[in-house]
A and B are shown apart, each in its own frame.
Chain A
Amino acid sequence: MKKILFSLIILWCSQFLGAQQNITITGVDSSEMLLNGKIHVYVSLQNIEELKESGLPGLEDFSLTEKESLMDEWSQQDIRDLQFNGVNQDQISFILLLDNSGSMYDTINARPTENSDEQRIHFVTKALEDLFYSTSENNDSLSIVSFNTNIKTLAPFTDSRSKLRSALESISRPEPDEAYTELYRAMKEASDSLSLRKGRKVLILLTDGENYSYSENRKEPHPVYGNELIDLDDIETEMQKRGISLYTIHYARAEDPELSNLSDRTGGLSYTASSGTELLSAYKEIHERISNEFRLSYKPAVSAARERSIKVTLNDTETSPEYSFLWEIFWGLSPLLSWWVYLILIVLSLVLILVIHRTPFEKVYAFPHLELLGGEADKTIIQISQDKTMIAVSREQTRVMDETEIGSMNSDETGITIIRGPEGKYSLKADEEIMVNNKTVISRDLEPGDVIRSGETVIIFEEPPEDQ
């Protein structure tokens, strides 16, 4: 009896554990966030084939919780929309990232060979050809990129399988200098390229080796990339931000734990294949999995947090592992101070503007005067307080004289006398011809605003209104 009970408990537990892994978030697309505020979450169910027969879950069967990654509190979010086959096929973009380093020209058992039918690359291209034949009715977009020391786009995004097949023919054995494996850089460039695509974005990496960069191992700068090295953590951040899933196929070698973990964290999977058949099977499984995803759409709460974590639950029993993605507002970080500090600063700046507006920029004089312009005496004010004000004007200076100085004027000086008449009217008399209001005169009545010019010196006569 105890044995039966124990077996039942184990069975119940394993069923529960299995259910936990049945639902996985495989990607996030935030490209429509600005247009309609929505984030699309792609969800994959492991038992999808069974569900297709028994009935697919509906919107009400899913629930979604979200939290800022550094916080502990999860909050329920409304799912606005649900689609099976997450996106239409034409909205799925794959990049097939092919390792074309020197080791791909060895046999599956890692022995060097010149027989092309025994080389790993042969099985890879054969598997891909078969894949393209078997998916010729599909209209999803694929691009093929190969990498060794250099990174080469063999086929840009296309839904034409014949073009993809032709592109495979351009794969050639690398020269000795090209035999390095710029794996991380190729992943980064593929991620950049996928980020421009709308809808579901998937990177399928096929490699038989590890990152083995030119500059690190050859101890000299890469001809194109110099000494810059790519960090796998940065690739993960970018892929999360862009909602790209990484599927890794380790060909003819054990799994690379770092790449496998990265695949998991981006909602993808990793496979090990040691034959062309296994390769084709892995490709097909990935393709099938993507095509059978659900797309849940929700509007996230506004916050300054860059990184968010989400979980999706099906029928309140099966919950996906936590999935993190990045969304950052253009303005960046939130302010550090309280909102009222900025309110006070707004008031202060408005007061400052008012003060500038109210500040008088021109000085008003309440007495009749002459204002000198230009030269060292610029802006000098000569008050006219007597019935006769005499000034001597030369190129160097303008000075006020009294009557006793008239005889002692220098030869380059012009004497100008401003005379106040009995009715308070002003007139001007000069020793020689001068300009008043751009006209040559030797004497004339003056009005406020008249401009007297002698040589280079400009003098403005002004009389306040109450004196006129």
Chain B
Amino acid sequence: MNSTGRYIVALCIGFSAALLGWSVLELILSLQHLFPGYTLLLICSGGLSTAAMTAVIASMEGILHKNTSKLYREWGMGILWGLAGGTIGALAGQFLFGILLPETLMPDSFRNSYLTARIISWAIMGFFIGTAEGFRIRSLQKIQAGMAAGLIGGALGGAIVEGAMIFYPSDSWLKLPGFLIMTLGTSLLTNLIETVSAPGVFRVLTGASKGRKYLINQKKTRVGSHGGCDISIKGNDSIPPFAVNLKRRGKELLIEGIGDFKVSVNDDFIPAGKDQILKYDDVIKVGDCKFLYEVRQ
């Protein structure tokens, strides 16, 4: 899939995440009279809606690469991380809204404090939504991309919704466009930042996944048949669970076989225990699966 395709998928995922998160929030709010107290209501509404959005946004790679086991892990991490983020965001929002802001940051009016509290809170939620996948795979680059995208998306969503609510104060549905801006902004911006910052991509040349592209945007990328690998090759007995490591060293990308596994670059095997710097247009063979290392597009 080319870059345009990735953006279209990111768009669809962002839309689904917003619809799911908003529906969860509105469901909880419409049943709020059943809650014993406001604190639990806030935790549930913020936590569960953000958990839903984070899980969907975090599962982008799993969806793109059709890796179900990766998808489950992304959902698991997304739910836990989003639960924490949504809870913190909602409590912080209520706290700022009710207590902190009137004098310290926004002395002018009640409405401004409401607006600011919401924007800060949404930015916090955006931060958690954007960074779940980065923390799961411990990739600083992904965390940075998710953090920037999440903060911007969240703050923008909150600002636009609150701005609109000044003119349409009775329209509770305005939260939906806010969620849309937050999730679409987060998924598209993350995608953009990751694409721009990746030195290259691995294009699958053979088999059922032919044409699939893996952005090489982590410090270390693992290739193997295990579902937990960043590039997971299914249905190939000749490939061990963890076959090859790709390591970034500055602008260079190095390849090495893990253990005794031999990987070939341009039809030449790399001796076990050695690594080799990859050049663009190199063809890498892992078992029967071939990849082209190419400049990102």
Q: Measuring CB to CB, which residues of chain A are less than 8 angstroms from any residue of chain B?
A: 30-31, 33-37, 189, 192-193, 195-196, 234, 237-238, 241-242, 299, 301-304, 327-339, 342-343, 345-346, 348-350, 352-353, 356-357, 360-364, 435, 437-439, 448-451, 453, 458, 460, 462, 465
Contact A339 B205 (CB under 8 A): no
Q: Measuring CB to CB, which residues of chain B are less than 8 angstroms from any residue of chain A?
A: 1, 5, 9, 12-13, 15-16, 19-20, 22-27, 29-33, 35-39, 41-42, 45, 56, 59, 62-64, 66, 71, 90-91, 93-95, 97-100, 102-104, 107, 109-110, 117-118, 121, 165, 170-173, 175, 204-212, 266-267, 279, 281-283, 285, 289-290, 292
Contact A451 B281 (CB under 8 A): yes
Contact A330 B206 (CB under 8 A): no
Given contacts A34-B42, A451-B281, contact A329 B103 (CB under 8 A): no
Contact A352 B281 (CB under 8 A): no
Given contacts A33-B38, A332-B165, A451-B292, contact A303 B32 (CB under 8 A): yes
Contact A336 B172 (CB under 8 A): yes
Could you list 10 A-B pairs, sorted by A, with CB under 8 Å? A34-B38, A195-B99, A241-B110, A302-B36, A302-B37, A302-B41, A335-B173, A336-B172, A352-B16, A439-B266
Contact A237 B110 (CB under 8 A): yes
Given contacts A330-B121, A349-B16, A438-B266, contact A335 B205 (CB under 8 A): no
What residues of A have a CB within 8 angstroms of the CB of B39 in the complex?
Answer: 33-37
What residues of B have a CB within 8 angstroms of the CB of A34 in the complex?
Answer: 38-39, 42, 91, 94-95, 98
Which 3 residue pairs across A and B have the least CB separation, nearest first?
A449-B290, A449-B205, A345-B23
Q: What is the distance, in angstroms, from B113's C-beta to the closest C-beta of chain A?
A: 9
Given contacts A192-B107, A238-B110, A350-B20, contact A332 B38 (CB under 8 A): no
Contact B27 A342 (CB under 8 A): yes
> At the interface, is chain B mostly helix, strand, loop or mixed?
helix
Contact B30 A342 (CB under 8 A): yes
If A34-B91, A195-B102, A346-B20 are given as contacts, then 9 extra A-B residue pairs at C-beta distance below 8 Å, sorted by A number, are A37-B37, A237-B110, A302-B35, A327-B38, A336-B172, A342-B26, A345-B23, A357-B62, A361-B64
Contact A361 B1 (CB under 8 A): yes
Q: What is the distance, in angstroms, from A349's C-beta to the closest C-beta of chain B?
A: 4
Q: What is the distance, in angstroms, from B56's C-beta to the closest C-beta of chain A?
A: 6
Give A303 to B12 CA distance when docked, in angstroms. Answer: 35
Give A331 to B50 CA distance when docked, in angstroms. Answer: 13
